Amino acid sequence: MTNRNRSNPPAFTQALESVTPALDAIPEDQLEPVRHDITVAFLTVLGVCKHASEYRGEVRTQIGEDAAKHFDVLEAAARACYHAHAQHLPTVHGITTGPLVDELGQMRRVLLAEARVLVTRGKLSPDALAEIVGGTSQSALCLDILQLVSVFRANWPSLSSITAVTKDELDQAESLASALATALGENAQGTSPVAPTADQRARAYTYFVRTYDEVRRAIHFIRWSQGDADEIVPSLSAGRTRSAVADPTPVHTGPVVPIVPVATTTTTSTPAPTSTSNGAATPAAPGTPSAQPFATSS
């Protein structure tokens, strides 16, 4: 039987390869700092891609092919960003973090098990473990270690004689968790230049959020009267900076740089201005779909 993977690379690898020319074309001084949880953003966009693509024809008719092209590459942009992010995570300052994460994971299991025994014996309040995050992410691991160390230290006078945990273990756990947390923070903000995958992730992230931003602008334009654009293509920032109440205007990630997925050029149509009840044209407010915010090629 033929191994199909030999001729067909995995979807994520293929997506990253397909957008590499566009990533390489982004000027270094125009790369976006990472402002979103990439995993959450990826899952959000992947979940709306199919429904959003149903409006491509309407966008092409009302706005033009340049705006519609972003719909064609949105899923690839999302997959490429997530893949670049996944390749970046295992390294901190160019060093594989697997052994460090494994060691911290074992420390968390030991400290948490000991803390639960102490809670059961009435030596610790159940509230002491209320802030434990859990989960498999490296950031959650760091937070849990630091929280557990804090709990033991705050109650050390009463726990030192009855727990198997030592001060040296607490010091080591805190030191390793702090080092990993600092490095993860630097990598997330793109301030760790020696991480070999940092540049690729920054480019993939920039391409992804700007492509999605263009799709959101187009959807907001054609669905302005219906007011349901945020249901079709929700803001990636909604869950991070504001409540779940829908925002009626697009939320832009940063300066918009024209992203032209393919080389062909098509003349775009000019949207008609809105009108008042007496027929007079009403100027479009800055930032609204009627203000023609779309990036087009010349």
Give yes or no: residues 203 and 169 share one domain: no
The C-alpha R_g of the chain, in whole angstroms, comes to 25
Backbone angles phi, psi at 20, to 5 degrees: -55, -45
User: Which of 131, 155, 188 is where one domain is finished?
Assistant: 188
pLDDT profile of the chain (298 residues), mean per 10: 44 89 94 86 91 95 95 94 79 61 87 93 89 78 89 92 90 81 60 66 94 96 94 80 33 36 42 47 43 48
The predicted structure's pLDDT at residue 188: 54
What's 181-233 look like in SS3? HHHHHHHHCCCCCCCCCHHHHHHHHHHHHHHHHHHHHHHHHHCCCCCCHHHHC
User: Which of 126, 161, 188 is where one domain is finished?
Assistant: 188
The predicted structure's pLDDT at residue 186: 57
The predicted structure's pLDDT at residue 89: 66
Give yes or no: residues 177 and 201 share one domain: no
Residue-range definition of the domain harbouring residue 170 = 95-188
Give yes or no: residues 83 and 206 share one domain: yes
The predicted structure's pLDDT at residue 242: 31
Give yes or no: residues 59 and 204 share one domain: yes
User: Which of 188, 218, 248 is where one domain is finished?
Assistant: 188
Give yes or no: residues 231 and 274 share one domain: yes
What is the residue type of 191?
T
Its pTM stands at: 0.53
The span from the CA of 22 to the CA of 247, in Å, is: 30
Give yes or no: residues 202 and 169 share one domain: no
Give yes or no: residues 238 and 181 share one domain: no
Give yes or no: residues 173 and 225 share one domain: no
Number of domains, the chain: 2
